[in-house]
Structure 1
């Protein structure tokens, strides 16, 4: 039996020799994309969010950076900037890469090179995988730096979105029950040129 397109891409992804600091993702139907090492401002935001999330999660969950998650229904494999997932799922080698549907929250921090991917492609992919919450942190939003929380996935779309500007707080609902403070998020002037 001939392997499916998804199986072929996944096995190719597994065999890649990706340089340290780079990330390989399957974001489209027919390509594996390499992402460059992250900028300092990007890493700073990830650290701030990670710190706040750790205070709000259960002891048997983790906040993972650069954890590969699979979305086989749409033939994708993403490496979110942060993902909250049960520890037992992450440690289950039979499920590697971890299934997106086990995530409680996916976080993407938009870089200039990832605008379309994070804003459109991953938004739809996470909704199709029914990841309950998708947090998009976007210093490059044309209306000004913003944070969007997408909730209630259904039929490949999120039914509710809350948006705040950098500097404001955004509420993450249960199971987090957290007001995420964005006041220290660096705007575009703090990113590399």
Structure 2
């Protein structure tokens, strides 16, 4: 058994804090902080996941209003102990080339593309944490026999929790957070027979 590298040891007894992520250059890409614990993407990323995120990025960039930008693989500092990294987000924050995270109030939509290793976090933990942080819209995208299925949630202000707003296959049309029209079938390549 090999010893843990020094960078993996929490700097204090309470564990990790959000600002610690910026001081961990040795950490693997896509390291998140959930409840003071570092979470690493350890398994290889599936081609389906990467392709879908890329195609969705392009499709959203073509539709966002002038005051909104698409962010990819950037963390959101939800609080001092939580800094998850969604696959995509839509933000109204001004562009800053040195930025490493976004504040929840600058995020209009968070999108997670579920992979086997992230399924529990994406479907339950992040669903709750993004809502508690006040992010108004959340999409959780599942792979259904190679086709994307988008589970859409909207923040219910009185309860502070997400309410399901629909499950979309084939096409997605939403009036919020802005007018969005997506041909979901074009986001993934056709399967060969």
Q: Which category describes the TM-score, using the shorter chain as reference length?
A: 0.7 to 0.9
Q: Which residue of 2 aligns with 1:60?
A: 67
Aligned match of 2:89 in 83, 102, 106?
83
Which residue of the partner structure matches residue 32 of structure 2? 25
Q: Which aligned runs of 4 or more in structure 1 are off by greater than 3 angstroms? A: 3-6, 153-156, 184-187
How many aligned positions are there?
176
What secondary structure is seen at the aligned counterpart in 1 of 2:185?
A: coil
The answer to whether the Cα contact below 8 Å between 2:18 and 2:79 also exists between their aligned partners in 1 is no
Structure 1 residue 53: Cα displacement: 0.9
Once residues 47 and 145 of structure 1 are traced to their aligned partners in structure 2, the CA distance between those partners, rounded to angstroms, is: 13
Q: What TM-score do you get using the length of structure 2 for normalisation? A: 0.78
Match in the other structure for 1:121: 125
2:53–2:87 CA contact under 8 A, matched in 1: yes
Q: Residues 148-163 of structure 1: matches in 2 within 5 Å? A: 148-154=151-157, 155-163=159-167
Equivalent of residue 51 in structure 2, options 32, 37, 44: 44
SS, match of residue 105 in structure 1: strand
2:150 is aligned to 147
State the Cα distance separating 1:87 from its structure 2 match.
4.0
Structure 1 residue 122 displacement after superposition: 0.7
C-alpha spacing 1:136/1:9, structure 2 compared with 1 (3 Å): same
Matched, 1:15 2:23: yes
| Counterpart Cα distance in 2 of 1:38 and 1:134 | 22
Give the match for residue 179 of structure 1: 181
Distance 2:97 2:54 in 1: 26
What pairs up with 1:91-110 in 2 under 5 angstroms? 91=96, 97-110=101-114
Bigger Rg, structure 1 or 2: 2
Structure 2, unaligned runs of 5 or more: 1-11
TM-score under structure 1 length normalisation = 0.78
Deviations 1:53-80 (A, max 9, x none): 112112232111101111017x311111
Compute the RMSD of aligned alpha carbons: 2.9
Contact 1:124 1:156 (C-alpha < 8 Å) held by counterparts: no
Offset at residue 116 of structure 1 (A): 0.2
Give the SS at the match of 1:149: strand
Q: CA deviation at 1:4?
A: 10
